[in-house]
Structure 1
Amino acid sequence: MKVSDILKEEFKLKDFQIENTIKLIDEGNTIPFIARYRKEMTGELSDTVLRNLYDRLVYLRNLESRKEDIQRLIEEQGKLTDKIKKSIEEAKTLQEAEDIYAPFKQKKRTRASIAKEKGLEKPALEVLYGKIPDVGKEAQKYINKEVGVESVDDVFKGINDIIAEIVSDDADVRKYLRNTVRERGKIVSKSSEEDAGVYQMYRDYSEAVKYIAPHRILAINRGEKEKVLKVKIEINDEPVKSWIERRFAKKLSGDSHKIVVDAIEDSYKRLIYPSIEREIRTELTEKAQERAIKVFGENLKSLLLQPPISGKTVMGFDPGIRTGCKIAVVDKNGKFLDYTVAYVTGSEKAQEKAKKDILDMIKKYSIDIVAIGNGTASRESEIFISDLIRENNLNVQYIIANEAGASVYSASELAAAEHPDVDVSIRGAISIGRRIQDPLAELIKIDPKSIGVGQYQHDLNAKRLEEVLDGVVEDAVNSVGADLNTASASLLEHVAGISKAVAKNIVAYREENGPFGDRKELKKVSKLGPKAYTQCAGFLRIPNAKNPLDSTGVHPESYSICEKMLADLGYTKDDIKNGNISDIDKKTDEKWIEKEAEILNTGAVTIKDIISEIKRPGRDPREDGIKPILRSDVLKIEDIKEGMVLKGTVRNVVDFGAFVDIGIKSDGLVHKSQMGKRVKDPMEVVSVGDIIDVKVLSVDIQKNRVSLSMEI
């Protein structure tokens, strides 16, 4: 079956969608570009589907390549039969292909290979195929003290080792056992410690392999790694061993039967089961990691695409106790203005000074919002700011901001380049302030793994995590677009088709020649060739450009189509700039769009996209999202009572529920059982940044825990 046919079947797509998408990928087009500007060719596949299809395409091509290698390697040994060739061709996974190759693979020295070196392969095969009537008598012939075979027992041991390895290498046996473990196996974890700490629920735990949730696999793995838990997979062995015996010993009798059955028992305990158990554990871990990476990616995307709070002067507040709170002011455009350090949890004298210093700064710079990091001393700082606002009747609001990664950014080369004369500790406060004004522009400066919106991210495959998160960042940046004349190099390098070097060249060109006047000027940037220009042009905007289309998401390749369409509707490009096409929807029904697409020799989807872009030129898609909650007073856990209904912000979504900031020290948990009927995946219900109403189910003041429900 061809790769394209497999993809078509798995993704339920049409021939043209698969063929065109593979062609576009092979031509080097980026996923954001394909998703946004090649909709006609792909049938409007989303960036998520395209990335999944790309991953699967890579896997299937690797599988085909490996199958070719395996066939060649077996053929070189002169052992390739039609049956083996057919098995290789029909293998649907890399694991199946490797199982077929296992008996022919050059191995390190094993007990079986040592026995073969001693000349015991021939009698082993004769025993296995029932060709020796009297094994004991035949074994005498193979005693050879020079090679270490000193007795009949040594011959039998060698025969056992060779047959055990043959059984272990049998592809059908491995497939049968693998499927049995998947269907009937149980993951069992135990701990001898009376108090297993965070792993207490796994101290004496058992769950079916096919049902165990990904986050529990990762938790058990970590407990095992920390030597708190002992973990294994258990199955009922007897039916499996009986199946293997029927396969290898059914037609045997006498000594041959006993020797082969004993070899199967040895093979099962020593070789096959431990190997398959490792495989299934690895398989479960990989699936759990892939799920956790997906969760991380979805949460990151939601966080990056949170609506910006623009046009506000912000005080970034990085809480601290011993070293004080680092405070930085950034103006409406994110420019750093001033800083101070305040000890809001210190002595009475220190607190009075902190109040005076912060109040003076609020008044001097007309602060609109105080963004308080959610780290150590966050709630103490919140109480301090809340009291300050109330006591002085200030027209100021505050927000609790996710400060994850701020310290990573503050010590980075990028932060040093942006703020060379600012102390490292203050840079974190600047980042906290800016990430309220424009979450995307600020958060892309930080390694996605440090943003902390996942589960067990430190236990995940680092390369795969980085690969997926980079894709998430790329999709987020390109869905919003970037201002060509103000975007930083760190933002530009995530735009489709732009490398890190080209991003720096764009900024350098801008600094030397002034603002870009139009998109075509991009072609003058060093190392930005025609291919890169095609990929990136539509995602780079120039507000107030001479050509109004340069401020929209309309790609330059469609300018002529757009201009002809405007003329047909009685508009000009200036009408876009002046907002004079608000009645365009009345003129462009489905029938008109189909006819216009035919006249302009393009697709209806392209016409629809152009209309959407010129209706709201320069539109930021994030503006349609729910704005973050701004507060002016503080809530303590002691104020929370069972049955209260509160408004909160979703901070993190995991497989078992969502953590919600309701304005107290610790986020409350909405378990997925409290999200509605039979919720399997909390991500189908909520996303990071969502503002939701929740009811308080229970409050544990001692443990600082609040259980919440969305079923109000």
Structure 2
Amino acid sequence: MQKIIAQIAQEIRVRPNQVETAVALLDGGATVPFIARYRKEATDGLDDIQLRELEARLSYLRELRDRKLAVVKSIEEQGKMTPALLAAIDATATKQELEDLYLPFKPKRRTKGMIAREAGLEPLAERLFANPALVPADEAQAFVLAEKTEAGDDFTTVQAVLDGVRDLLSERWAEDPVLVQDLREWLWKEGLLQSTLMTGKDETNPDVAKFRDYFAYDEPIGRVPSHRALAVFRGRALDMLDAKLVLPEPPVAVPAAAVAGAAKTRAAPVVTLAEGRLALKLGWSHQGRAGDDLIRKCVAWTWKVKLSLSTERDLFARLREDAETVAIKVFADNLRDLLLAAPAGPRVVMGLDPGIRTGVKVAVVDATGKLVETSTVFPHEPRKDWDGSLHTLGALCMRHGVNLIAIGNGTASRETDKLAADLIKLMAKAGTGSASAAGGDAPAIDKVVVSEAGASVYSASEFASQEMPDVDVSLRGAASIARRLQDPLAELVKIDPKSIGVGQYQHDVNQSALAKSLETVVEDCVNAVGVDLNTASVPLLSRVSGLSGTVAKAVVRWREAHGAFKSRQDLLQVTGLGAKTFEQSAGFLRIRGGSNPLDMTGVHPETYPVVEQIIAKTGKPVAELMGRADMLKTLAPALFANAQFGVITVKDILTELEKPGRDPRPDFKVARFNDGVEDIKDLKEGMVLEGTVSNVAAFGAFIDLGVHQDGLVHVSQLAHKFVNDAREVVKTGDIVKVQVVEVDVARKRIALTMKIGAAPARAAGDRSGDNRYQGPARGERQVGSRRDEGGSAPSAMASAFAKLKR
């Protein structure tokens, strides 16, 4: 275990004692949010990012350790373990290296190499390879058998014996871990991923045409971006594309005469570069000696029969794993941005779930998120009841004091957005804005188009039926859309993260790894914001540090039976919530208007005695201390530190008291779509529009312009400087201004730029803003003019891949 701790410490660049403490806390049942927030003293300030990496590496290295023990046991049982092999196994850093070492000893069916070894051909093979000057046929005479073996193996001719030598040597070389690892790394750097249209496929077929950028594509495999790799693999899985690993150079044609005359010309008739690489690592070259032709055939056999397919499989697996890692990170980053998007707060919201034939579903929720009324209007085809719809919606606004309208971004979204605009004008013309339910004027109404991804999943869920048992499934979706504006985090946690639709090729990646990553993101976001104990739903509570789904249900049952929690200590009365769970969760739960003002802050109950010392020092009650930054900043943290809670913890307490219950999320803003721009056909080159970032990938950002198809700002068009990753500039939910570069109506693709206006002046010698070239990395070959389109992404947003200009 100490070796694992030392390795993790080196990898994340911290001290071993920090890792050791963190591991002990994790093994003791502590969560990452709890350790990052309330055990900074113990870990000396490890943050949540470091702890997540530590947690992942700890799991991997423990699995590797267990596998090593199993491999050692297997080899020892075979009686083949040596001190050198044991040391090599102990030194392996990856599962792949371990499996390479284990390959020669892994139990397998009887191979041709084994058969040759059983026939006693190993000494002959070693002698011929060690001294290629020997004549193979002459040397093989002594090993020719008079008859077949008892197992039926035939070595009764010289050729059969030499074939056995070939099988024996090629198997030995193919199982040499050093040789195989060198070849694998060489091909990773020099080999090409190549894809072509599968024979017999009609490229005019819309499903096939999605992959047109990969009909004649190749790129160095080690530099293939995640989205292109996943596009190729998807095309192959759908039998649209053929994909293979191609050697750095095509095979070298060697005339038969040159091979026959090799002894005279000293030619080196190696067929491929891969075989040449193998020969080089074996320390052999063709010098026209009597045995060189045999060795050449053994080398060729090793590559063609033993290694070519397995190496391609290994490198494709590595490419897929790397691509999936990037894709999962993209999904996780976008999900984090979406969950931490600005909340509109306690406002009365009308949710509109657009539809044409089935009508627009309407749901009004009050400032607490409670559903107060539903309706369905039919402003579009076939009824076209525009005026009647406005009347119904206007009545709802007047009755409930609606001051914000949330419009789903699905079918008929733009038309419904126009309906909302007419409604706002109508209410303004009435001269009252929106009268509240109690009478009087209310603020003017705003409208916002929001992503409805996952709303249908929520509507049909068991939890939705419990929340709104007497409400039609279609109307539940409208309520969810409305609540997403009030508090995106609280509403989106009710939905499986994979259904939210901000992923890149999310259905093509390892679903277990994706789910685990997204779960940690949701957990981190929920605990970063904090949860109101008296209003939170079961799904939201179950994401709080230490609270399982069962305990979260018990908390809600207690709340329903006994009323609102008055203090955090009341949690200990909940069945199934013990001291350990209380320790892990209490600091992330908020009670507004409770008996102790500290219960609405991020100060953990275990540190309340420290606050009491601060109260004693200042002579001010806690209610007067909270929010008094001028007073709190004058206090020296060291005055209140003790053996249990040091200076780091005290600093956190003072910071929390300065801004009690602070929300880390940004302020709420509304994007304004341009009037008259309702369809992709309305877009013209040069138009400057405002939109919302709906999705971000490494190669660019997708922008919702309110025209049913998201546009793409390529990474090279994000700023007047070099941008390596789009998330350096934008994140999901941002409101940005863009200019239309190109519109392809037929393919529903929109190219945008954020480089509006002249580039800022640059100081002499400063190349940081040099953005003249942002195509492929140096050495990468440009194939086609749209390298980032590859296949159709699974989400609705990613279907709007814009046509890129290189």
Whole-angstrom distance in 1 between the partners of 2:748 and 2:309: 44
Deviations, residues 20-41 of structure 1 (Å, cap 9, x unaligned) = 2222222221000011111223
Which residue of 529, 534, 539 corresponds with 1:480?
A: 529
Give me the whole-angstrom Cα distance separating, in 1, the residues matched to 2:674 and 2:140.
91
The one of 682, 707, 712 aligned to 2:751 = 707
1:366 Cα offset (Å): 2.5
Return the offset for 1:544.
Answer: 1.2
Per the TM alignment, residue 56 of structure 1 is displaced from its structure 2 partner at its CA by 1.3
Please give the residue correspondences for 1:588-599 in structure 2 after superposition, counting only pairs within 5 Å: 588=635, 592-593=636-637, 595-598=638-641
Check 1:140–1:255 CA distance in 2 against 1; reply closer, same or farther (3 A cut).
farther
Q: Matched residues in 2 for 1:334 and 1:51: separation?
A: 33
Match of 2:313 among 278, 283, 286: 278
SS at match of 1:306: coil
Assess if the C-alpha contact under 8 Å between 2:135 and 2:290 holds in 1: no
Q: CA deviation at 1:299?
A: 0.5
Q: Which of 174, 199, 208 is the equivalent residue of 1:168?
A: 174
2:85 corresponds in structure 1 to 84
1:471 partner amino acid? T
Give the TM-score taking structure 1 as reference length: 0.93
> Whole-Å Cα distance in 2 between the matches of residues 132 and 41 of structure 1?
72
Q: Which amino acid aligns with 1:178?
A: R
Which residue of 443, 447, 461 corresponds with 1:398? 447
Deviation at 1:347, TM superposition (A): 3.6
- The residue that corresponds to 2:439 in the other structure is none
Secondary structure of the residue that 1:537 maps to in structure 2? helix
- 1:124, CA displacement in angstroms? 5.1
Whether 1:41 and 2:42 are equivalent positions in the alignment is yes
Distance 1:686 1:43, change over 3 A: farther
Question: Is residue 2:724 matched to residue 1:680?
Answer: yes
Q: Would you say 1:268 and 2:269 are equivalent positions? A: no
SS in 2 for 1:583: helix
Higher mean C-alpha displacement, 510-519 vs 628-637: 628-637
Change in CA separation of 1:104 and 1:362 when aligned onto 2, cut-off 3 Å = same
- Give the number of aligned pairs: 705
| Selected match of 1:226 from 234, 238, 261 | 238
Partner of 2:351, secondary structure, is strand
Change beyond 3 A, Cα 1:77–1:256: farther
Runs of at least 5 residues in structure 2 that lack an aligned partner in the other structure: 252-271, 434-443, 757-806
What SS is found at the alignment partner of 2:402?
Answer: coil
- Please list every run of 5 or more consecutive structure 1 residues that lacks an aligned counterpart in the other structure: none
Letter in 1 for 2:298: A
Q: CA offsets per residue over residues 30-78 of structure 1, 9 Å max, x none?
A: 0000111112233333212211121112112222222232223222222
Within 5 Å, which residues of 2 pair with 1:107-506? 107-113=108-114, 134-141=138-145, 143-144=147-148, 147-149=152-154, 151-152=156-157, 153-191=159-197, 193-195=202-204, 196-236=208-248, 238-246=272-280, 248=282, 250=284, 257-347=292-382, 350-391=385-426, 393=429, 395-506=444-555
Report deviation, 1:220: 0.8
2:602 to 553, 566, 573: 553
Distance 2:411 2:232 in 1: 29
Quote how far apart the aligned CAs of 1:630 are. Answer: 6.3
> Contact (CA 8 Å) 1:135, 1:256: kept in 2 or not?
no
What is aligned with 1:58? 59
Q: Which amino acid aligns with 2:191?
A: G
Backbone CA RMSD of aligned residues:
2.6
Render the CA deviation track for 1:135-178: whole Å, top value 9, x for unaligned.
Answer: 43124226416514174244443443333222211111111111
Asked if the contact 2:688/2:738 (under 8 Å) is kept, the reply is yes
- Are residue 697 (structure 1) and residue 723 (structure 2) matched? no
1-structure distance, mates of 2:745, 2:419: 21
SS across alignment from 1:587: coil
Deviations 1:653-684 (A, max 9, x none): 01210011234332221110011322111112
Task: Render the CA deviation track for 1:179-217: whole Å, top value 9, x for unaligned.
Answer: 111111111111155445121111111111222111110
Q: What code does the residue aligned with 1:160 have?
A: R
Q: 1:694 to 1:420 in 2, by over 3 A?
A: same
Q: Give the CA deviation at 1:446.
A: 0.3
Mapped partners of 1:71, 1:142: distance in 2 = 41
CA–CA separation in structure 2 for the residues paired with 1:360 and 1:551: 38
User: Match for 2:26: what amino acid?
Assistant: I
Question: 1:132 Cα deviation (Å)?
Answer: 9.5
For each residue in 1:322-366, what CA deviation from the matched residue of structure 2 results, as whole angstroms up to 9, or x when unmatched?
A: 322221111111111221222222245534433333233233222
Q: Secondary structure at the match of 1:694?
A: strand
Task: Quote how far apart the aligned CAs of 1:561 are.
Answer: 0.9
Aligned pair in 2 of structure 1 residues 519, 18: CA closer, same or farther (>3 Å)? Answer: same
1:457 offset after TM fit, Å?
0.3
How far residue 231 of structure 1 moved from its aligned partner, in angstroms, is 0.8
Residue type of the partner of 2:711? Answer: G
Aligned residues of 1:16 and 1:41 also touching (Cα < 8 A): no
**Secondary structure of the corresponding residue to residue 285 of structure 1:** helix
Equivalent in the alignment of 2:697: 654
Alignment-derived partner of residue 666 in structure 1: 709
Q: Which amino acid aligns with 2:669?
A: K
> Residues 97 and 668 (structure 1 numbering): CA distance in 2 closer, same or farther, change over 3 Å?
same
Secondary structure in 1 aligned to 2:144?
Answer: helix
Equivalent position amino acid for 2:634 in 1 = K
Q: Percent identity?
A: 42
Q: 1:520 to 1:391 in 2, by over 3 A?
A: closer
**CA shift at 1:626, angstroms?**
5.0
Describe the shift of the 1:7–1:356 C-alpha distance in structure 2 as closer, same or farther (beyond 3 A).
same
Shift of 1:582: 4.3
Residues 265, 600 of structure 1: alpha-carbon distance in 2 compared, 3 angstrom cutoff: closer
Deviations 1:441-483 (A, max 9, x none): 1100000000000110010101000000000000011011111
1:626/1:574 CA distance change after superposition, 3 Å: closer
**1:664–1:584 distance in 2 versus 1, CA, 3 Å:** farther
1:531 — aligned with what?
Answer: 580
Q: Residues 427-450 of structure 1, C-alpha deviation per residue, up to 9 Å, x if partnerless?
A: 111111111111111100000000
**Paired residues of 1:653 and 1:659 also in contact (CA < 8 A):** yes
Letter in 2 for 1:179: E
1:79 positional shift:
1.4
User: How many Å separate the matches in 1 of 2:742 and 2:724?
Assistant: 23
Q: 1:605 & 1:212 partners in 2: Cα distance?
A: 44
* Structure 2 CA distance for aligned equivalents of residues 151 and 410 of structure 1: 75
Q: For residues 570-610 of structure 1, what are the alpha-carbon distances to aligned partners after superposition, in whole Å with 9 as ceiling and x for unaligned?
A: 3222324xx5634224423xxx23x3254676322212211
2:213 partner amino acid: M
CA change 1:317–1:111 in 2 (3 A) is: farther
More off after superposition, 282-291 vs 677-686 = 677-686
Residues in 1 aligned to 2:358 and 2:112: alpha-carbon distance in whole angstroms: 63
Residue in 1 that maps onto 2:659: 616
How far residue 251 of structure 1 moved from its aligned partner, in angstroms, is 9.8
CA contact (8 A) 2:154 2:160 kept: yes
1:2 Cα deviation (Å)? Answer: 2.0
Secondary structure of the structure 1 residue equivalent to 2:475: helix
The answer (yes or no) to whether the contact 1:628–1:689 under 8 Å persists in 2 is no
> One-letter code of the match for 1:584?
M
Cα 1:132–1:521 change in 2 (3 A) is farther
